[in-house]
A and B are shown apart, each in its own frame.
Chain A
Amino acid sequence: MGTADVEAVWRIESARIVAALTRFTGDFGLAEDAAQEAVAEALVSWPLAAPANPAGWLMATARRRAIDAIRRRTALQDRYALLAADPAVDEEIDPDKIDDDVLALMFISCHPVLSPEARVALTLRVVGGLSSEQIARAFLVPVPTVQARITRAKKTIAAAGVPFELPPAGERRERLGGVLSVLYVIFTEGSTATSGDRLLRPDVAYEAIRLARTLAALQPAEPEVHGLLALCELTAARFPARTGPDGSPILLADQDRRRWDFSAIRRGLAALTKASTRGLGPYGLQAAIAATHASAPSVEATDWDRIVVLYEALGRVAPSPVVELNRAVAVAMASGPAQALAIVDELVASDQLPGSHLLPTVRGELLARLGRRPEARAELELAARLCANQRERSVLLRKAAALG
């Protein structure tokens, strides 16, 4: 068995192992450390002698490491006695309990006491089973930064006395919203990289989709979980058409829709149906917008009126300047650039998106459509200066130059 085989088993088992250990030790940080030690041991010993039951091996080894760690903490002798007396750790196969454990792990990893960066790193590490190296590569940060974030996060959780349990029913939905936003941040990083020279990092987006599927399987009665999953699937469905062979971005209008992933669209639409049981929430509404695009044969034949209405609804449940800007784009398509420019100008006047390249990008496009070329050019050049993604920047500069 090679490194990749160990990683494969680890990806499948890590969440359950960390969750089970956390329940038995009552200490999330210790459980995570012990699990990491077990996988490190596996990387050394499996290539020499592969165990018959890799999952059981990992669990047993992690449990021994946890006991070692507790034994070293003399102050916790009583807890060690309790733990050592309990033989049921690896025999435990109550699926409901495992599900609750994994879900509790998600809630811990996305706990509000943690910084957003820590939530992302911890979720990918303990629920997704990614190594610090993989997370660092995904987010283009140094490995020690990821390690430090995870270490600090575990200390923060311990210091705050965060219990390992599902949040009480009253808090559950709000906390679930926090979990969803972490998954969405991960997805967004993969679907439009905030920095670097690549527009898409599908592997990052895929991790978010995988975790969203897990959450949807564990919380099937929560419409917004399906809404987020639908949004991710429908957005990812366009990935194959979003970049050219050289990696440059291709705008929606120019995308070859035959290259969209129709299986992903179908999965997204199915998830959207499940999200619609009690009226759509913010993710469900965004998914509905993505679905409207996905089922249109061309930009011209898109139901822009429906998209405007959906953005209006989104603006009511989750108001934000970005939603307003997107509504302006939809209005431009449905009713022309003049009406849209009024919305954008209002955003400019109230300084709603300071420093963002999106506002001047859209304003520049609208001005160009209105024939106000010098103004349009200045806006697009401003957008290019503000844009951190090199690929997007070159597109903006090209457009500005084309305006003469």
Chain B
Amino acid sequence: MPKYMLIMRGTDESNAAMMASIEEGIARTRLFIEEMMKAGVLLGAEGLDDPGQGVVVDFSGETPVVTDGPYGETKELFGGFFLLEVASKQEAVEWAKRVPAAPGSKIEVRRVPEEDEVPQDSTVQR
């Protein structure tokens, strides 16, 4: 069945807004997770730590280069995800609309390809 990842994309402002009432945010997210569990659609959910605590492994050169960060603008950075198994893209979008996300943030809805869409053994003729 189709799987979709709802990817949370915060901004500095939305992250700050979330941190301002973090306990309420956590409580609302818990309720939302519970709701998705009761609907039988949730496969996984994780939040990510402060991007400043992360590292970036850069493959631009011949050998991977490890740097601290990413620093700077958090726009376009992932803050966490929900992994859902649903009947349709519309259903994934409908769930995305219900995420208790902080104002200003965005949620990206991306399909996880099915096993049979991934190229398999080259001997298999289609």
Contact = CB atoms under 8 A, between A and B. Distances in A.
Interface of A: 2, 4-5, 7-9, 11-12, 95, 99, 102, 202-203, 206, 209-214, 217-218, 240, 245, 256, 259, 261, 263, 267
Contacts of B116: 240
Nearest to B1: A206
Given A4-B88, A217-B38, A261 B93 contact: no
B115 A259 contact: yes
Nearest to A209: B40
B40 A261 contact: no
Contact of A218 (B1, B38, B43): B38
Nearest to A261: B115
Contacts of A202: 1
Given A5-B90, A203-B1, A245 B115 contact: no
A8 B88 contact: yes
B37 interface: yes
Contacts of B90: 2, 4-5, 7-8
Given A206-B1, A259-B120, A8 B38 contact: no
Given A217-B40, A218-B38, A8 B93 contact: yes
A217 B126 CA distance: 41
Given A4-B90, A217-B34, 8 more contacts: A99-B38, A203-B1, A212-B40, A213-B37, A213-B40, A214-B38, A214-B40, A259-B120
B115 A210 contact: no
B85 A5 contact: no
21 contacts: A2-B90, A4-B88, A4-B89, A4-B90, A5-B94, A7-B88, A8-B88, A8-B94, A12-B39, A99-B38, A102-B38, A202-B1, A206-B1, A213-B37, A214-B38, A214-B39, A214-B40, A217-B34, A217-B40, A240-B115, A261-B115
Interface string B105-126: 0000000000110001100111
Nearest to A128: B40
A11 B87 CA distance: 9
Contacts of A210: 39-41, 85
A73 B46 CA distance: 52
A8 B91 contact: yes
Place the interface of chain B in its size category.
20 to 34
Contacts of B40: 209-214, 217
Is chain A's interface secondary structure helix, strand, loop, or mixed overall? helix
A361 B85 CA distance: 36
Contacts of B88: 4, 7-8
Nearest to A15: B39
Contacts of A203: 1, 87
The 8 tightest CB contacts between A and B, nearest first, are A213-B40, A210-B40, A8-B90, A240-B115, A8-B91, A206-B1, A214-B40, A217-B37
Interface in B34-67: 34, 37-43
A93 to B, nearest CB: 10
Nearest to B116: A240
A385 B120 CA distance: 35
Tell me which of B1, B41, B42, B126 has the highest count of chain A C-beta atoms within 10 A of its own C-beta. B1
Nearest to A220: B37
B91 A12 contact: yes
A334 B85 CA distance: 37
B95 interface: yes
Contacts of A5: 90, 93-94
Contacts of B93: 5, 8
Contacts of B94: 5, 8-9, 12
A99 B38 CA distance: 8
Nearest to A229: B40
Contacts of B95: 12
B125 A206 contact: no
A115 to B, nearest CB: 25
Contacts of A259: 115, 120
Nearest to B44: A263
Of the listed residues A11, A211, A240, the one surrounded by the most CB atoms of chain B closer than 10 A to its CB is A11
A223 to B, nearest CB: 18
A256 B115 CA distance: 13
Nearest to B3: A263
Contact of B43 (A2, A11, A211, A263): A263
Contacts of A213: 37, 40-42
Nearest to A129: B87
Contacts of A8: 87-88, 90-91, 93-94
Contacts of B89: 4
B43 to A, nearest CB: 7
Contacts of B41: 210, 213
B79 to A, nearest CB: 22
Interface string B70-98: 00000000000000010111110111000
